[in-house]
Amino acid sequence: MEDIVKQWVLDNVSTDYNTVLRLVTEQSPENEPYKSLYAARKVLEEISNKLEKASGTLGKELAVLQGTVLFQLGKNHTECDELSTGEDFLKRALEMLGKVEGKVKSVTVYILTCHQLAVLLASRSEHEQALKFLLDAKTSYDGYKTTSHPYEEHELLLGPQNPIAEDKRKEQFERLHTHTLYYLAQTYESIGKASIAANYCFTTLERQLTSKQYDAIDWSLNCATLSQYYLNTDNYRQARHCLACSEHVLTEYMDRGEEKDDGIVEKMQQTKADIARCWVKYCIALLKYSQQLKEEGGGQDVLKAREEDFNPFTCIDASAIELGVPCSPISSFDATRNLFLFGQKCMESAKCFFSLEWHASDNVSIVQDHSQLFKHLIFFEPELERKCRMYKRRADMMEGLLKQLNPQHYLVLMRQLMFEAGIIYSEMADCKITLASDSEKPTTHAVLKINKLISQSLKHFDSFINSFQDHSGKLPDRFDEQCLRSILSAKFWIARLHSKVVTANPQTQVDHQRKSLENYQWIVAYHKVYPADVERCFAEELKMCKEMTELLPHKLDKMTIV
């Protein structure tokens, strides 16, 4: 019977199906974007009718062919944005293919149908439903056991004149399973199961390396992106490994002598810059983690559990890169400085591509990361004078960007920079106050410097708040939830800054204390009108604000009497 079916396909289907494969790859005219797909659909419908008529005599032998055509029709309707009809065809295909005996013929198309349904459902954000089909695809792969490798997607409909070698079948089937794992990684991420998503992503990358079926640029970027998950779980060894491997694969590709067109060169340069940015994020995260451990009195024991989680790629050696970057918490200033310098080198590399002129948002983000590198290095710096110089570097970065950006186009970014500049100047003032307190009587120059830094901090916080004013110069009665905490924090910083101004003039002291009180009162008053809003994002600070609105009036009374 099998030979009869093969001959029937050769006589009645293969020529038409070749026409379908040609049509689906043809470019349709702009005014008729689906012309070739519609033509392919018409031929598929004719093939479906032939199969239906022949089923009376050939019976079950045609079921896999009918299922394959239904899959192609479902895919065709989906690509023509007829999603509901496409879904119906795909589900009919799945039902028919599921009944086929001898999975060697049907399992490939069955898995492809699951993929197509999952993609369709994901486009409607129905990720849980998409996951069911992807797990079905995985189960189909896991449960497939035979001495022969599954038939290729088009093989049966093209007839016996197009045989495919067993090793080619195996390669295509394994690549299909890699796609299943890739889709599972994306879907688990979409439903918030990051740990499972990361495992599937790692397995996908490993399989691509083993099979040598991957695009070096895409692989490198995906591997670098995966490192960011491991950073979020404090698994620095695994994060470093991913970044080192991504850099290794990309560098090998870049060093090949083959000619590359301009589009590939640009993509390659951008990926190199993206990997460098991920390295910067790594350095910031490890510095921050090291700082937290030092503040909490933690030690190396915290890493022992992580050693069991390390899972290296088996067919790549990036140890030369890994050895140059620590993956354990560091405590000495020299060690943190070396990590800082490495991060700074990566930052400069990233900025070569992401320039302020052509990639303003990315450039600003990179400079902000540079500032964060300094922030965590400052914690480990023992000398106050050197701390102050680092604060000055951070402030200069923010000021430089604020002078170059256009508020009409980059207002959100500028708000971030204003806020950060306000904090930096305030922390620099604290540093100068500590230095001044070491002497019996601060010099006039030291006092002027402290007050100037406080003034700079106030200026940036005021600019931040004023950026929310409407055209009439009025702030909104109620702030959006996304920016409310920042507004309240700015008011809180301003209140504290006014209390730090150094002056021997009693009236000036009173004026600043009143301004401090006014800002605390503003926060408390806003809370009275919108209590739930404030308590959601500012509950801890609100307690202090209420205390200060009770204490400062008494303090002002005493200052006035004196």
The mean pLDDT value for 436-447 works out to: 84
pLDDT bracket for residue 58 (50, 70, 90):
confident
Which of left, alpha, beta for 59 (phi over 0: left; psi -120 to 50: alpha)?
left
CA angle 352, 357, 358 (to 5 degrees): 75
Position 437 pLDDT exceeds 70: yes
The mean pLDDT value for 230-246 works out to: 96
| pTM exceeds 0.85, yes or no | yes
Q: What is the pLDDT of residue 400?
A: 97
pLDDT bracket for residue 101 (50, 70, 90):
confident
The mean pLDDT value for 98-124 works out to: 92
Q: What is the pLDDT of residue 42?
A: 97
The mean pLDDT value for 45-50 works out to: 94
The mean pLDDT value for 53-72 works out to: 86
pLDDT bracket for residue 4 (50, 70, 90):
confident
The mean pLDDT value for 291-311 works out to: 70
pLDDT bracket for residue 145 (50, 70, 90):
confident
pLDDT bracket for residue 297 (50, 70, 90):
confident
48 or 163, which is more confident? 48
Question: How confident is the prediction for the chain on average, in pLDDT?
Answer: 93
Q: What is the pLDDT of residue 305?
A: 47
CA pair distance 141, 112, nearest whole angstrom: 11
Q: What is the pLDDT of residue 296?
A: 85
Secondary structure class of 193 (helix, strand, coil): coil
Burial 92-113 (b: 16+ CB within 10 A, else e): bbbebbeebeebbbbbbbbbbb
Q: What is the pLDDT of residue 509?
A: 92
The mean pLDDT value for 505-517 works out to: 94
Position 299 pLDDT exceeds 70: no
Q: What is the pLDDT of residue 301?
A: 52
The mean pLDDT value for 477-499 works out to: 97
Position 70 pLDDT exceeds 80: yes
pLDDT bracket for residue 139 (50, 70, 90):
very high
Reading the block at residue 457, the tokens are 């901090």
The mean pLDDT value for 434-439 works out to: 84
61 or 138, which is more confident? 138
CA angle 102, 107, 109 (to 5 degrees): 130
CA pair distance 160, 7, nearest whole angstrom: 8
For the chain, the distance separating the N- and C-terminal CA atoms, rounded to the nearest angstrom, is: 111
Q: What is the pLDDT of residue 147?
A: 72
Percent of the chain with pLDDT over 70: 98
Position 69 pLDDT exceeds 60: yes
Quick one: CA dihedral 35, 38, 40, 42, positive or negative? negative
